[in-house]
Amino acid sequence: MTALVRMRLIAFAGSGRVVAPAILSLAVLGVLYGGGSSLAAPVYGYSATIFFPVLAWLVKLLLDTEPDVQRRLARIAVGPRRESLAGLLAATLAGLLLCAFAMAAPLLVGAIRGPEPGTTEPPLLTGILLGALAHLLALAAALALGALSSRVVAGTLSKGLMILVGGAILVIILGLSRSIAPWLVPPVMATARALNADTLPDAARVALLTAWTAAWCLITLTAYARLRTRRA
Amino acid sequence: MRFEDVWFRYARRADWTLSAVDVAIRPGETVVVLGRNGAGKSTLLQLAAGVLSSVRGRVTDRPDVVGWVPERFPADQPFTAEQYLRRMADIRGGSGVDEWFERLKFAEHRHTRLADLSKGTAQKVGVVQALLLRPGLLVLDEPWEGLDAVARELIPDIVAEVTAAGGAVLVSDHRGEIARLPEAIRWTVADNTVRPGDPEPDDGATDGATGGGSGGGSGGGEVIIEIAARRSDADRTMAELRDSGHRVLGVRTEHQR
């Protein structure tokens, strides 16, 4: 299966489809880190939220790179389960790379500062670790949304885009602090709010956000796997 | 491998493409699937290969290793022919890429990008990827389409090798190339189902022809005779053949045999 993951990543990079999300990411980074510096947690909280739709799009692009017939050839070669798992793994690896890039950029351009001496501001490492978690949670949610919007599941490009864009908008609207049904969507916005609060989230809050994302992804990816048993 | 009352349709509210299919193919057998364009040959082949799954009924005893040669090779991929085949060999755990380049005589296209290959050469890549592991079931969807003379002659040999090793082969054919596989069993796809035997004359008798060996006993039985004519006589020869009531199925030039 690693051979299939590798083939898909190389095809994605080689097909040039990787260029569009890369340029968008650079633009986003330019807007985010145009000037000034702040603590790591709020910076990464914003970053994870803004990169969530970019990551979901990246996942969809990667899963859609392979022609339908080639995907079916892969399905025959490794079996249906490993074929769809290989797609998710390849998308996860590409997403991790983008997350690493998104996290390294503010450190490199000096947009993140350490705590002021004599204040109760949290140490730099805590902020970075929380930021990494926020990006991982965003990536997990993006993986699930991107997979559901992929061509093999959605059928047509327009339906796929509708799922992708509609899903991303719902994540934002239902994720607002006065939302009536925040549980319907992954806690991308809730995570950003937790990292922007005056006091950093405690372990219980972090565990809740993680479990919430995990539950949402489990349900969505199970639906994806079930749809994929019929849709090759 | 056995189709047990298999029904298939492409969408929930669509008409059945195939219904009540109940046929079996045993190891070592070759089955040629005949039928008009759009009758459901490709669908049947994809159900056999495991690309599609039946809506009702099931396909049982499918061998572990299946080779599928799709009707059109997906050339829109950023690999050269060799890169692609090596990656597919890695994925399948197969080997022998170099020998296949030699055997199908397209070693000069090793480093050509898939998208730049001619249709026939891309089809060769499609054939090779299905044979990187010796298949227990080889499914060939119109394998002769676009292939040059050398490769067309090789298909029967490849089929014979697979069946000799205990594999089963399922081939679809609407060009009447079946004469190249005289031992094959025939299935006909018509009226949304599959039955053993040649098409009836009313089935539209396939686009090409129904193959040889039946001695004309079933009324619509025809044999394919390949003839060679001088280039300058080609038009006249075709006209004469048509006048004598024969159907001309195709004309090709052969640079080498």
The predicted-structure confidence for B31-53, as pLDDT tens digits, reads as follows 999 988 888 999 999 999 999 98
Asked whether residue B257 is assigned to any structural domain, the reply reads no
Asked whether residue B130 is assigned to any structural domain, the reply reads yes
Asked whether residue B46 is assigned to any structural domain, the reply reads yes
Which residues in chain A are closer than 8 Å to B129, comparing Cβ atoms? 73
Which residues in chain A are closer than 8 Å to B92, comparing Cβ atoms? 77-78
pLDDT recorded at residue B213: 39
Contact (Cβ atoms closer than 8 angstroms) between residue A63 and residue A151: yes
State the complex-level ipTM.
0.90
Q: Is A198 exposed, middle or buried (0-12, 13-18, 19+ CB in 10 A)?
A: exposed
Q: For chain B, which residues lie within 8 Å of any Cβ of chain A, measuring from their own Cβ?
A: 46, 49-53, 66-68, 70, 72-74, 76-79, 87-88, 90-92, 129
CA triple B35-B37-B40, angle to 5 deg: 65
Contact (Cβ atoms closer than 8 angstroms) between residue B67 and residue B139: yes
Tell me which residue of B159, B86, B148 sits closest to B117, measured CA to CA. Answer: B148
Determine the residue of chain B that is closest to A16 in CA distance: B78
Tell me which residue of B180, B226, B178 sits closest to B199, measured CA to CA. Answer: B178
Q: Report the 3 state secondary structure along A15-54.
A: CCCCHHHHHHHHHHHHHHCCCCCECHHHHHHHHHHHHHHH
Asked whether residue B26 is assigned to any structural domain, the reply reads yes
- C-beta atoms of A7 and B87 within 8 A: yes
Whether A37 shows a pLDDT value over 50: the answer reads: yes
The structure tokens listed for B155 are: 């298909």
Enclosing domain of residue B25: 2-208
pLDDT recorded at residue B117: 95
Q: To the nearest whole number, what is the mean pLDDT of chain B?
A: 86
pLDDT recorded at residue B254: 64
Q: In what order do the strands lie in the sheet with B30-34?
A: B66-69, B137-141, B168-172, B30-34, B185-190, B193-196
Asked whether residue B136 is assigned to any structural domain, the reply reads yes
Asked whether residue B41 is assigned to any structural domain, the reply reads yes
> CB distance from A66 to chain B under 8 Å?
yes
pLDDT band at B131 (very low <50, low <70, confident <90, very high): very high
Residues 6+ apart with CB under 8 A from B105: B150, B151
The structure tokens listed for A192 are: 């950003």
To the nearest whole percent, how much of chain A has pLDDT over 70?
100
pLDDT band at B216 (very low <50, low <70, confident <90, very high): very low
pLDDT recorded at residue B201: 62
Q: Is B186 left (phi over 0), alpha (psi -120 to 50) or beta?
A: beta
**What CATH number should be reported for the domain holding residue B122?**
3.40.50.300
Residue A63 neighbours by CB distance under 10 Å: 25
| Count of CB pairs separated by less than 8 Å, A with B | 60
Determine the residue of chain B that is closest to A231 in CA distance: B52
Tens of pLDDT, residue by residue over B74-84, are 999 999 999 99
- C-beta atoms of B91 and A78 within 8 A: yes
Domain total for chain B? 1
Average pLDDT over residues A148-172: 95
Average pLDDT over residues A6-35: 93
- Calpha distance B110→B80 (Å, rounded): 7
- Calpha distance B144→B124 (Å, rounded): 10
Whose tokens are 């489809």? That residue is A17
- Calpha distance B89→A114 (Å, rounded): 51
pLDDT recorded at residue B202: 56
Tell me which residue of A70, A66, A213 sits closest to A150, measured CA to CA. Answer: A66
Domain boundaries, chain A: 2-230
Selected residues 41-60 of chain A with any CB under 8 Å from a CB in chain B: none
pLDDT recorded at residue B150: 80
Tell me which residue of A113, A126, A142, A140 sits closest to A37, measured CA to CA. Answer: A113
- Calpha distance A148→A150 (Å, rounded): 6
Asked whether residue B79 is assigned to any structural domain, the reply reads yes
Q: How far is B48 from chain A, CA to nearest CA, in Å?
A: 11
Q: How far is B230 from chain A, CA to nearest CA, in Å?
A: 41
pLDDT band at B173 (very low <50, low <70, confident <90, very high): confident
Whether B127 shows a pLDDT value over 90: the answer reads: yes
Q: How far is CA A130 from CA A53, A56, A185, A194, in A?
A: 20, 21, 21, 10
> End-to-end distance of chain B based on CA atoms, in angstroms?
36
Whether B242 shows a pLDDT value over 90: the answer reads: no
- C-beta atoms of B87 and A76 within 8 A: no
Tens of pLDDT, residue by residue over B85-119, are 999 999 999 889 999 999 999 999 999 999 999 98
Q: Report the 3 state secondary structure along A213-230.
A: HHHHHHHHHHHHHHHHHH
Determine the residue of chain B that is closest to A17 in CA distance: B78
Contact (Cβ atoms closer than 8 angstroms) between residue B51 and residue B4: no
Least confident of A130-144, B116-130, B199-213: B199-213
Residue B90 neighbours by CB distance under 10 Å: 17
pLDDT band at B182 (very low <50, low <70, confident <90, very high): confident
Asked whether residue B256 is assigned to any structural domain, the reply reads no
